[in-house]
Structure 1
């Protein structure tokens, strides 16, 4: 299996269980890895034989900047299902790490995140 990785994408969204999060919003970072067969793309140098990661970025942006959700688990799930649905012919599996760098939790930590894997991802 081969992989395409989109690393440290950053968006602004209004997800969270607390009212302040849905009113003020906050930054979110996402890492998305796609399990694909890149053999033909590598041999032919043809964009049509791979997944256009600019289009994957657009899907991620529309989800994170879209409808507010209470849980980042729900946001990650929507990213995974949207990407898998749109690129079903090429993408065999997906891993989504959604990071909330500044959640409203007292204490010292770098961030909180969820990490989900769907489909065939070895």
Structure 2
């Protein structure tokens, strides 16, 4: 289950103005864990817990480096999950979270601004 939210967080990190670069991956994973069901196509919509966790994560962002670090954590976790872009890309709108870049498992964390 932990790997599931890691991958989900990775995907969502693209969506967010992510937290401090010093935020450890386990903390990032914990915030996104509830989103894995939707991102893998198992749940019909993101849960309130998913959206709340992502909004909390977004509020921790202090810099572009923070966003990149969180993205890296999420991308690392996503490798072991079956995250589907068609669901992942819908999370920002479903959770009413604005991001300035496309959300995808193929996002290059190093190009996030």
TM-score tier (shorter): 0.3 to 0.5
- TM-score of the two chains, using structure 1 as the length reference: 0.34
Indicate the structure (1 or 2) with the bigger Cα radius of gyration: 1
* Larger helix proportion of the pair: 2
